[in-house]
Amino acid sequence: MFRRLPEIVQRVVTITVDGQRVAAQEGDSVAAALLAAGLTPTRLTPVSGAPRAPYCMMGVCFECIVTIDGVANRQGCLVPVREAMQVTTIAGRRELAI
């Protein structure tokens, strides 16, 4: 759970997360925007389906990986939010349609 300090006034950037519109602020990373909006867990692991959320916020732990504008497994903590960005979270193991 996070809150914005009252003094913070940045431009609002609207992104879409799993089809839902989310208001972030300019300068937020995707991972920070997800945490600020309370959208945790941000992924379910491919191994056991366990819920996870961003952990290190500095490009090391890969817990924040999401699909951004169609590119899978991006580190959300390293990508700044952009207007109309499409973010999809990872829900466990990928299924192959045969």
Partner 1 sequence: MRLDSLRDTFDVAIVGAGSAGLAAAAVTAGAGLATLVVDENAGPGGQIYRAVTTSPVKRRDILGEDYWAGERLVADAVRSGAAMLDATTVWSLDRDLAIGLSRDGSARMITARRVIIATGAQERPFPIPGWTLPGVMTAGGVQTMLKASGLVPAGETVIAGTGPLLWLLASQLVRAGVAIAAILDTTPRAAYLKAAPHAAGFVLSPLFAKGLALRREVAAKVRVIAGVTEIRAAGFGKLASVTYAAGGRQETLPVDNLLLHQGVVPNVNLAMAAGCQHRWDARQLCFVPVLDADGLSSVPGIAIAGDGAGIAGAWAAEERGRLAGVAAVRALAPQASAPDGQAIRQRLARHEAARGFLETLFQPPRQFRVPPSDDTIVCRCEEVTAGTVREAARLGCEGPNQLKAFTRCGMGPCQGRLCGLTVTEIIAETRGLSPEVVGSYRLRPPVKPISLGELARMPASAAAVKAVVR
Computed from CA positions of residues 61, 50, 98, 17, in that sequence, does the dihedral angle turn out positive or negative? Answer: negative
Give the closest residue to 34 by CA, choosing from 92, 72, 75, 93.
75
For residue 8, with 0-12 CB atoms within 10 Å meaning exposed, 13-18 middle and 19 or more buried, which class applies? exposed
Least Cβ distance, residue 66 to partner 1 (angstroms): 12
- Tell the smallest beta-carbon distance from residue 95 to partner 1 (Å): 19
Nearer to partner 1, 20 or 72 (CB): 72
Contact positions toward partner 1, by CB under 8 A?
A: 1-5, 7-10, 25, 27-29, 32, 35-36, 40-42, 45, 47-48, 50-63, 65, 71, 73, 77-80
Two structure tokens written together for 45? 């692991």
Looking at the Cβ atoms of 47 and 98, the one nearer to partner 1 is 47
